[in-house]
Structure 1
Amino acid sequence: MHDLIVIGTGGVGSAVMAQAARRGLRVLGFDRHRPPHSFGSSHGESRVIRRSYFEHPDYVPLLSRAYELWDQLNRETGQQLFVRSGLVYYLTPDGRVSAGVRGSAAEYGLELNSASADEAARRWPQFVVPHGREVLYEPDAGYLRVEDCVAAQHEMAIQAGGECATEEVISWAATESGVAVRSAGGTWSAERLIIAAGSWSHSMLHAPGLPLRVVHKQLHWFPSSPSAAAAGESACFFYEVNDGYFYGFPDLGNGIKVAEHSGGIRLNRPEDGYDFADPQDNERVTAFVNEYLNGAQAVSAQTASCRYTMTPDEHFVIDRHPQHDCVTFAAGLSGHGFKFAPALAELLLDLSLEGSTSHNIDFLSWDRF
């Protein structure tokens, strides 16, 4: 019998496994594909990490802990998994995003700098400053090398004695001694269960009342001009323009990665959409690149499919299962969860083992729905 079973070993699940194994727990993780893989939400080369969080200021302490844990993973692996490249915002003055970014920075004393249009054009000539937008810069922001992060956490778990089964979980049930998990390879028992199943959360949680929806997102890589990249400071970017929210990364070797954070096509089943093409998304992103990214060729050289698992308010759901105290879960990360992965793993283990956590996660509870 295991101490803990983890369903889903992507960004959050692999971190849970690594931390649980290091705490001395007998942990077994299940994923239908060997991590890292491209069949969920923990792939696509890179993820933005930032602390000037417009979504809700209560995320900032969790982010600060995540920063510490990502830095620790950098040191322990000797890899640059978390790179502080800085992040440039181009925002509507006094809009919701600007107010949220400034509010979080002010409340927690984060470094956030304003730049005039002329200064921004000098420092980041690879980006066009939209008319009527303010420019903000968070120097401590950056990006995470997403597949490498998952692989490092997975390897850390295995080295510490954790086990990972590449099998589909069919069902689970609470028992007198904990849980029984039935997979394609048999039935497994554990005292506790943590579910981090991403797009499969709804079915895995046995939660018909939890309002989750899965949307298809498309990632794009555009060829860059070496001269344009060399002319400016390397940075991630976030644009608020009339057509939506767009974000992207420096060229990490495959071109400039760009995606639209807003929008997306709803999927009826989580297994749909792996090879799904969205011509309208491609049209919007290509138009954005053509208008705002100097030195990028507005012809997508590579695309990948991803998905967001959304809640109605776009905040996470982190809680113990309302019917089963031995089951804890993270769901509905709504397209902005990967950066939190090691901090979420830590608090999930706290909830699972102790029944509480020192982190303020009341705003992420199941019962808000």
Structure 2
Amino acid sequence: MRNALLQLLFVGSLAVVVVAGILTAWQNLTAQGLSFGFDFLFRSTGWDLNFSLLPVTANDPYWWYFLCGILNTLFLGVSGLILATIVGGIVGFARTSSNETAQLLGRTYVDIFRNIPLILQVFFWYAIITHLPVPRNAYRAGDVFLTSRGLYVPIPNVGGALLAAIILALVAACVLPIWIGRTKYLRRPQGSRLDLQWAAAGAALLCALAILLLGRPADGPVLNYPVLQGLNLRGGLRISPEFTALVIAIAIYGGSYIAEIVRGGFKAVGKGQIEAAQSLGLRPWQTFSRIRFPLALRAMLPILANQYVWLMKATTMGIAVGFTDFFMIVALAINHSGRTLESIGILMAGFLAINLSLAAVFNRINRAIALKGNQLRG
């Protein structure tokens, strides 16, 4: 009873502080003639975005702009996390290899890029990209153009909704085989599901191909290629300099931290387990794929989840170079609408939803691969 009363007193004290803060803020706003509410979300913004994955005009309401900002942040964050994982994995493998040159290169990379602030790296790469040649003198590799106005690449010749469907089908082609191989909802043993995995991947790829062929304009090309027209490039997909600089900076900076996480994970695998695998006659690749990597992944995953959450929050650096992510759109909304508390509350709720969802996914994966009954359980 005493413990319950103490907890009730503590929670009640917190509630009183929160309510008092809300009432004080309400009184201050009323005294200054300011109103509080979210009715502004349904008013037209009157300003445009220079980058959006969704169609947007100046007549769209604020809630649509906030949704576009969240999608831009997710797109930037996921792209940066994927590239940072690739870079960190390569550097981490180099640091744990037996080759002294690879170890030296990996250690040099980590020491340099981990100790330079992220915002300086963003400015550095943005300055390099914006000083590239103009479209007329662009660096070209086939149908890919690299210019000071961005990177131009071919894109499927379909509308935005169909393009999103193609991307989802491609993601399903990668995710479905993994899910089929590990799920417990199928009665067939896990070792005999290879035909189902191939069938699921093939069906998803065929679905993507069908959308591409049927969704393109009549007698039009399958891909929309960028071409030089006058002083600029037309067609294809333009990846803006702001987005490119942010992705490169997040990948390089985050990769230096992930490399150390990878190195620590492999160092956590005991030598006795590797020697036991060698004594059983396992080849080096079998030892790596069946012993070292699974055990190292279990040690890496909790720390890796924290690093991913931090890198997702680092996408707010986009405001420094003019990338219209969620944070920048909220800042613009505050300037145009004057609703500071409401906009900051939406910003906090959005990042909480993103990062808590990311943490929940990694916690679920961590519980699924944890070895029960040993020192790695959480």
- Normalized per residue, the structure richer in strand is 1
Fold match (TM-score > 0.5): no
Query: TM-score range with shorter-chain normalisation?
Result: under 0.3
- Normalized per residue, the structure richer in helix is 2
Larger radius of gyration between Structure 1 and Structure 2: 2
